[in-house]
């Protein structure tokens, strides 16, 4: 060391600080890289990604070689700074203290904080090139890393700490996936993002949320006159119709309309011929999650299910189209009277049918009505008023005013949502 010029020692010290910066940036970049993008690029043949993925699959050894190199370099830099300080200022406590303080400052700024910030900000740009250096370095230093890890594993066992597997540690649940989709606003088109969110929500939605209620089911009564049945089939907006005998509690089966079109056109149609082409009804219990029901439709090759409660009584009817609408949005082939309607008024308020589903109201109007109670607007209003309301009564749910416009058969037929003045609020209205 005595024969090496002081200027050369400064150059060596600068190189050591740069090498230390490399290890610091590599460590942070490797830990901060997006594992899913990394796996995608590795599967598509990116060499840097493949090497990085291989290193991350043995995290203990990767960290071992990085920290080994970093500590060796920092120790060498400390020894070198001491030699330089003695050469320039002689031996003494003050020169050694000044050299140590100055070196600590340079290591923090140039070899630790700044490289780690860069590594965290641009993990792929740092990790991929670094993998070409760390991979052969790990092979060279493997005996030392293995020896160090023996003590590390022993200490972990002594502390009863079991290292988490990388695969399980990076698995995402439904809520995490939902957050990832929400934060991908700049990467995914809005329509794609909405469909993905709807798909992730299928586990929390049941057939009760999308079914056509019993009172709104379009069905054929076998006890009706032949002319009425024929007219009903000919004018129906559905390809499948529920068939019953006298009461919806006596289901005869499901009619595929196309099977009787020939009989209708030839004049050979009769209730007996209708019975012969009926399919057996397919029942599902109320509360079945939509995702599970979607699989059941696929497995049973069905497109229509009758929803029954715990007593076996018919509650409603759910179709494959109802489930698909929860994912991709409403179709334009629905019957005009199905699931309620919306009409915007000049003052910005909306006229909404009482049978409209609360989920559809929230989605269409951007509201946050509670979904854990009644399924329809009529049910929501009855629950809050705790009485059969009359036309003209207003209620405020959250910050949203609702005025009942029309009632029929002890139910809300039409209501106005929004743009109701505070003076119109009825005394019986409740605010949640």
Q: What dihedral angle (degrees, nearest 10) is formed by the CA atoms of 25, 29, 30, 35? A: 180
* Closest among 173, 181, 275 to 222, alpha carbons compared: 275
Domain residue spans of the chain: 6-169, 174-203, 205-328, 342-424
Q: Yes or no: say if 9 and 80 are a contact pair by the CB < 8 Å rule.
A: yes
Residue 166 pLDDT > 80, yes or no? Answer: no
Residue 192 pLDDT > 50, yes or no? Answer: yes
Residue 359 pLDDT > 60, yes or no? Answer: yes
Residue 165: per-residue pLDDT: 58
Residue 149: per-residue pLDDT: 82
Residue 185: per-residue pLDDT: 67
What distance in Å separates the CA atoms of residue 388 and residue 375, rounded to the nearest whole number? Answer: 17
* pLDDT tens-digit readout, 299-325: 988 889 999 998 889 999 999 888 888
Residue 383 pLDDT > 80, yes or no? Answer: yes
Order the strands of the 342-344 sheet from edge to edge. Answer: 342-344, 350-353, 411-417, 400-408, 394-397
Residue 432 pLDDT > 50, yes or no? Answer: no
More confident residue, 372 or 382: 382
| CATH code for the part of the protein at 342-424 | 3.30.465.10
Residue 337: per-residue pLDDT: 46
What distance in Å separates the CA atoms of residue 303 and residue 282, rounded to the nearest whole number? Answer: 9
What angle (nearest 5°) sits at the alpha carbon of residue 211, between those of residues 219 and 246?
Answer: 25
* 114 phi-psi bin (left φ>0, alpha ψ -120 to 50, beta other): alpha
* pLDDT tens-digit readout, 24-77: 999 999 999 988 888 889 988 899 999 999 998 888 888 889 989 999 999 999
| CATH code for the part of the protein at 205-328 | 3.10.580.10
Query: How many other C-beta atoms lie within 10 A of the C-beta of residue 180?
Result: 13
| HSE toward the beta carbon, residue 414, CA cutoff 13 A | 11
Residue 126 pLDDT > 50, yes or no? Answer: yes
Residue 307: per-residue pLDDT: 94
What angle (nearest 5°) sits at the alpha carbon of residue 146, between those of residues 145 and 151?
Answer: 95
Average pLDDT over residues 116-133: 93
Residue 422: per-residue pLDDT: 42
* Closest among 133, 102, 108, 127 to 21, alpha carbons compared: 108
* 164 phi-psi bin (left φ>0, alpha ψ -120 to 50, beta other): beta
Residue 117: per-residue pLDDT: 94
Model-level pTM greater than 0.85? Answer: no
Residue 178 pLDDT > 80, yes or no? Answer: no
* pLDDT tens-digit readout, 227-278: 888 888 888 888 889 999 988 889 999 998 888 888 777 777 888 888 888 9
* pLDDT tens-digit readout, 197-234: 777 777 778 888 888 888 888 899 988 888 888 888 88
* 160 phi-psi bin (left φ>0, alpha ψ -120 to 50, beta other): left
Task: Report, in angstroms and rounded to the nearest whole number, the Rg of the chain calculated over CA atoms.
Answer: 36
């Amino acid at each position: 060391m005595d024969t090496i010029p002081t200027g050369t020692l400064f150059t060596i010290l600068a190189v050591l600080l740069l090498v230390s910066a490399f290890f610091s940036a590599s460590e942070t970049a490797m830990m901060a890289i997006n594992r899913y993008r990394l796996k995608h690029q590795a599967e598509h043949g990116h060499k840097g990604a493949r090497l990085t993925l291989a290193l991350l699959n043995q995290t203990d050894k990767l960290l071992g070689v990085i920290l080994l190199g970093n500590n060796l370099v920092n120790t060498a830099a400390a020894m070198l700074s001491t030699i330089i300080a003695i050469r320039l200022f002689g031996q003494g406590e003050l020169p050694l203290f000044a050299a140590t303080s100055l070196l600590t400052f340079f290591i923090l700024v140039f070899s630790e904080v700044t490289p780690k910030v860069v590594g965290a900000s641009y993990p792929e740009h740092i990790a991929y090139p670094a993998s070409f250096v760390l991979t052969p370095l790990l092979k060279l230093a493997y005996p030392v890393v293995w020896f160090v890890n023996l003590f590390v594993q022993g200490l972990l066992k002594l502390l009863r700490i079991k290292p988490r597997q990388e695969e399980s540690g990076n698995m995402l649940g439904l809520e995490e996936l939902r957050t990832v989709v929400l934060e991908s606003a700049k990467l995914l088109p809005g329509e794609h993002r909405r469909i993905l969110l709807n798909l992730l929500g299928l586990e929390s939605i049941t057939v009760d949320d999308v079914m056509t209620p019993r009172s709104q089911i379009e069905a054929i009564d076998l006890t009706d006159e032949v002319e009425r049945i024929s007219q009903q089939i000919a004018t129906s907006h559905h390809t499948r119709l529920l068939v019953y005998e006298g009461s919806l509690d006596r289901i005869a089966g499901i009619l595929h309309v196309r099977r009787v079109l020939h009989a209708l056109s030839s004049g050979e149609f009769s209730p007996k011929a209708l019975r012969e082409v009926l399919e057996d009804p397919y029942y599902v219990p109320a509360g079945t999650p939509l995702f599970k029901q979607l699989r059941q439709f696929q497995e049973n090759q069905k497109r229509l299910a009758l929803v029954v409660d715990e007593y076996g009584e018919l509650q409603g009817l759910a179709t494959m189209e109802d489930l698909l609408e929860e994912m991709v949005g409403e179709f334009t082939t629905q019957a005009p009277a199905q699931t309620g309607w919306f009409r915007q008024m000049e003052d910005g308020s909306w006229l909404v049918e009482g049978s409209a589903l609360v989920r559809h109201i929230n989605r269409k109007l951007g509201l946050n009505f509670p979904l854990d109670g009644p399924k329809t607007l009529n049910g929501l209003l009855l629950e809050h008023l705790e009485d059969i309301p009359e036309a003209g009564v207003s209620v405020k749910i959250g910050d949203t005013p609702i005025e009942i416009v029309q009632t029929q058969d002890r139910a809300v037929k039409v209501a106005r949502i929004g743009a109701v003045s505070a003076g119109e609020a009825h005394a019986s209205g409740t605010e949640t």
